[in-house]
Chain A
C-alpha cells in the first residue's frame, strides 16, 4: 500500500483538541513589554508633531517610539517594470498618514491594559487633508493624490495583451456582450489575528521572533531590509498559526517594528492584534471592477475578449508582493478555461486612502471566474442557447492538453468538460430542478447556478519571474535526514498554518522511504532550521514543498539502498525499502531494518566504504512552472422576495486536484474555501465612507458566515495527475473560494430571471434584491 491517498489522521489535531496548541499570543516571557500602536483616526493627514511624553509618564510604561526614533524604517516592494510606481511602506508614519488605522507611534508597557491606556495620551498634531476612498473618487479629475509619486493615483497600469484584430472582431461579431462586474473589499479574517513576540538573544547575537505568519523567511528579509542588518541576525519562528488566508503572506508593519524595538531595548516585546486593528489596519483584498466586452459567434463560440480591470489596492504596496499582484493576475489569467482567440487586457492598481491590500485567498481568480461565468450566461441568453452548452463549446476539451492560450499560459491536463458533465448529472439525479420548481411554487424565488474554472497553483519562478518582482518567489527547498534511530526529520521552507502539512508531507516521504508516517517529523516555520523558502500561499506547499521533500527523500532512499547493498552484498538496484526494512528483491530471507542501517551509518561508520559514511541526508529543491486544478461548482439558492434574504440550500463541488495526498484534508480545504466564497458573494464587505472612515470595524458589521449561513457541501473527486509536479498532485487551497461567488451569483440571477435584471456584483445583499424586484438600480 501507499500512504499517499490514505485518510491518515492529522497529527496536529491532538494538541489542538487538548488545548495545548502554541500560538504566538500563548507564549509568555518574563519581563516582556506589551506594545500598543497609536493609529491614525484620519484617512489622510499630515502629522505635524508627535509628543509621547504624556504616555511615558504613565506608571508601567517603559518606552515609546516614533518613526524618527527608529530611523524612519520602511519596506519597499518593487516590480521592475516602467509601468509600476514604487512607494515605500513606512513601519510608522513618516510625517503623513494615508489610511485610518495607520500606525504612527508605539508605546510599550508592562501589561497590555496599561499600554492601551497610554496610547490615548500620545499627543499627535494632525492636519487633515482631502480624501479619496473609492475607485471613482481616486480616478476623478483633480483627485487628491495618495502618493506623491503617483499622479492620478495609478500605481501600476499594464496592458498585458492587445490583439490588434479585436476592433474588427467586435465590429463584425453576431453578438457582443458588455458587462461591468464589481467585487467588494474583503478581510481575510483568520480567527487568530496577527501577533508577534520579539526578543534579543545575547548569546546568539540575534533577534528571535515568534510571528503569526505564513512566510517566516520573508518576514526575516523584511526586518533585514528595514533595519539594515544581515539576515542571519534575525530568526523568525512561526509557531501554531491560527489561519492566514493570505493576510499573513506579507510582512506586517507591526511585527517588523517589534524586531527593531527588541534590538534596541534588549527586552522581549510582544503584540497581539485586536479584531478592530485586524479589520481596519491590516490588509484587505478583492475590491475590483471589470469592464468587459466579449464577442460571440451565433453558435456560442467566443471570438474575442477585452477587459479594463481596476483594483482598489488601498494606500500602500505590501511587501514583498507589491500592489500589482491583483491586476497582474487578473489581466494574465482572465480567459481561464475558455479558448479565447483574441484578447486585450489592461490592469490598473489604483491607490486610495484605505488600508493596503494583500493576496487574500484566490487573489483575483474569484473575480475573473465571476466575470467569465457571467459572460457565458449573458452570451447564452443573448443567443438563445443553453448556458452550459456555451461553456462546453468554449472550454479547453479532452485531447487538447497541454493547451497554450492567447495569454501565453500552458494549461496542464485537466478535466474541465468531465467535471461539468458530472456536476450536471449529479444535479439532475439529485432532483435539484424539481426542488427549484417546488420552491417557486411555494412562493420563493429559486435558482440553480454553475461555475466552471481552473485554479492555477504552485507558481514557481518560471511563472513568477514574468511579474518581474524584485524579490521573485517560487522555488522551495527541503532536507530529509534519517537520524541514528531510523526515524526521519524533514525540513521545509513552506509554512503550514492549519492545512495539516505535518501529516501530508509525512505521507509523501514515508512512501519513498518505506517507513510509517508516524516516523516522519516535519520541521517548518523556522528560518534557522529550514533553507530559504517562500512559505505557504498560492496553493503551493504540497506541490512545491512536497515535491522538494519527495526529491530529498529519494536522495536518502538511494543512500539507504547503497548501504543495504553493501551489507547484503547485493546491487543497490535490487534493494527495496518497505515496512521499515531494506530487503533484496525476490529474496525474503535477506532484509535489514532501516534502523539498523542508520545505526551502522552513524555509529559504525568505519564498517562502510568512504562514500557511504557520516549520515543519511539529502537536500533538494523544486521549482515547477505551475499546475492547474479544476472544478465545477453547482448551487441551489432560494430567495425570499419579501425580505430579500438569500439562502444557499444545496452545494455541489466536482473537483480535480490530481493525485490526492489525503482526501480528508482536501475535502476540508474545499468546504472551508466554498464557505468563504459564498460569504464573499452574499455577506462580507469591508466598507468605508467617502471620508475614508471604516464602516466595518467589528464582527457586528463585517458579516463572517456562521454554520447557519452554509449548508452541507457535497464533494465528488476526479483525479487527473499533473505531469508538472513530482507527486502528480495539484495545489487546491483556493479553489473553493474561487468558484463559489460565480456559482452563487449565477444562481441568484437564475432565481431573479423574471425581474429582467442582471446582478453583476458581489456581495449581493437583501437590499439589492429589493431594488432589483422594484425595478430600481441594484448595486
Chain B
C-alpha cells in the first residue's frame, strides 16, 4: 500500500500540484514527476552536492529531502537561472572560466553559488569588500567535481561576486 500525499510546490515560480509517495526524494520528484532533469544525482547520500537546489532561497541537497517536505515551499532549480535564452551572469562566468567539463555536477555548483551569493549580499550589504579566493574555495568545497580541479569554478564564482558588488555600488 503506497502512502501518497497531495502537495503543492512552487518550482522556478511555477505552481505544481501533485500526488507524491511519502518516501520519494525531492530529487526524484523534481526529475521524474515534474521533468526538471537539470538537477542531477551523484551520490544520493548528501556528499557530492550535484542535486543542490534552493529551497526558499537556501541551498539544499535534494537527495536528502523528501518531496512531501517541499509542500508549500519555493524551490529553485538550474532551469530557472537563465533569463529566457540568455545565460545569467553566473552561468556566463562558468563558461568564460572553463568551470565545467562533463557538466554533470554543474547545476549543483550553480545553485550552491547562487545561494551563497544571495546570502552574502543579504548579510554584508553592497558596501562590503569582495570575497577572498579562500572564502570562495571553502564554499565550493561543499560539492564535488571530478573533471575541473575546481579552479575554473572558484574563478567563476569570484568573478560573479565582484561583478555583482560593482553593480550594487553603481
In the complex, A28 has a CB within 8 A of chain B: yes
Interchain CA distance A193-B42 in the complex, whole Å = 7
Could you tell me if A192 and B104 are in contact, using CB atoms closer than 8 angstroms? yes
Interchain CA distance A12-B104 in the complex, whole Å = 12
Of chain B, the residue at the smallest CB distance from A700 is: B47
In the complex, A163 has a CB within 8 A of chain B: no
Could you tell me if A13 and B100 are in contact, using CB atoms closer than 8 angstroms? yes
Could you tell me if A664 and B146 are in contact, using CB atoms closer than 8 angstroms? no
Interchain CA distance A744-B108 in the complex, whole Å = 30
Interchain CA distance A541-B134 in the complex, whole Å = 36
Could you tell me if B40 and A192 are in contact, using CB atoms closer than 8 angstroms? yes
**Which of A686-694, A701-709, A724-732 sits within the interface?**
A701-709
What string of 1s and 0s marks CB contacts (under 8 Å) between A89-118 and chain B? 000000000000000000000001100000
In the complex, B32 has a CB within 8 A of chain A: yes
Could you tell me if B98 and A17 are in contact, using CB atoms closer than 8 angstroms? no
Q: Which residues of A contact B39 (CB under 8 A)?
A: 19
**Which of A235-243, A513-521, A565-573 sits within the interface?**
A235-243
In the complex, B23 has a CB within 8 A of chain A: yes
Q: What's the minimum C-beta distance from B150 to chain A, rounded to whole angstroms?
A: 4
B28, B96, B144: the one within 8 Å of A704 (CB)? B144
| Contact A675-B149, Cβ < 8 Å, known A23-B40, A192-B42, A240-B103 | yes
Interchain CA distance A16-B37 in the complex, whole Å = 11
A113, A664, A674: the one within 8 Å of B23 (CB)? A113
- Residues of A215-249 at the interface with B, using a CB-CB cut-off of 8 Å, are 240-243, 245
B21, B37, B44: the one within 8 Å of A274 (CB)? B44
What string of 1s and 0s marks CB contacts (under 8 Å) between B124-147 and chain A? 000000000100011011111111
Could you tell me if A668 and B102 are in contact, using CB atoms closer than 8 angstroms? no
- Residues of A174-201 at the interface with B, using a CB-CB cut-off of 8 Å, are 189-193
Could you tell me if A275 and B42 are in contact, using CB atoms closer than 8 angstroms? yes
Q: Which residues of A contact B87 (CB under 8 A)?
A: 14, 17-18
In the complex, A699 has a CB within 8 A of chain B: yes
In the complex, B79 has a CB within 8 A of chain A: yes
Total A-B Cβ pairs within 8 A: 173
In the complex, B36 has a CB within 8 A of chain A: yes
Q: Which residues of B contact A245 (CB under 8 A)?
A: 146
In the complex, B82 has a CB within 8 A of chain A: yes
In the complex, A576 has a CB within 8 A of chain B: no
Could you tell me if B94 and A17 are in contact, using CB atoms closer than 8 angstroms? yes
Interchain CA distance A85-B152 in the complex, whole Å = 46
Q: Which residues of A contact B150 (CB under 8 A)?
A: 675, 706-707, 710
B104, B142, B153: the one within 8 Å of A21 (CB)? B104
Could you tell me if B102 and A498 are in contact, using CB atoms closer than 8 angstroms? yes
Task: Give the interface size bracket for B toward A.
Answer: 35 or more
Could you tell me if A707 and B94 are in contact, using CB atoms closer than 8 angstroms? no
Interchain CA distance A675-B145 in the complex, whole Å = 10
In the complex, B64 has a CB within 8 A of chain A: no
Q: What's the minimum C-beta distance from B144 to chain A, rounded to whole angstroms?
A: 5
Could you tell me if A713 and B149 are in contact, using CB atoms closer than 8 angstroms? yes
A16, A21, A26, A707: the one within 8 Å of B141 (CB)? A707
Could you tell me if B78 and A18 are in contact, using CB atoms closer than 8 angstroms? yes
Q: Which residues of B contact A500 (CB under 8 A)?
A: 101
Of chain A, the residue at the smallest CB distance from B90 is: A17
In the complex, B107 has a CB within 8 A of chain A: yes
Could you tell me if A190 and B38 are in contact, using CB atoms closer than 8 angstroms? no
Q: What's the minimum C-beta distance from A291 to chain B, rounded to whole angstroms?
A: 32
| Contact A26-B103, Cβ < 8 Å, known A671-B151, A707-B140 | no
Pick 26 A–B contacts, CB within 8 A, sort by A. A13-B94, A13-B103, A15-B103, A17-B87, A17-B103, A19-B77, A19-B79, A23-B104, A189-B146, A191-B102, A191-B144, A191-B147, A192-B102, A242-B103, A243-B101, A243-B147, A498-B101, A498-B103, A498-B147, A500-B101, A668-B149, A673-B149, A704-B146, A706-B142, A707-B137, A713-B151
Given contacts A17-B78, A706-B141, 13 further A-B contacts (CB under 8 A): A16-B103, A17-B82, A17-B95, A240-B104, A245-B146, A274-B44, A664-B98, A668-B98, A668-B147, A699-B144, A700-B47, A706-B143, A708-B141
- Give A contacts to B, CB under 8 Å: 9-10, 12-23, 25-26, 28, 112-113, 189-193, 240-243, 245, 272, 274-275, 497-500, 664-665, 667-668, 671-676, 698-700, 704, 706-710, 712-713, 736
8 closest cross-chain pairs (CB), A and B:
A19-B38, A498-B102, A16-B103, A242-B104, A671-B149, A19-B78, A675-B149, A699-B47
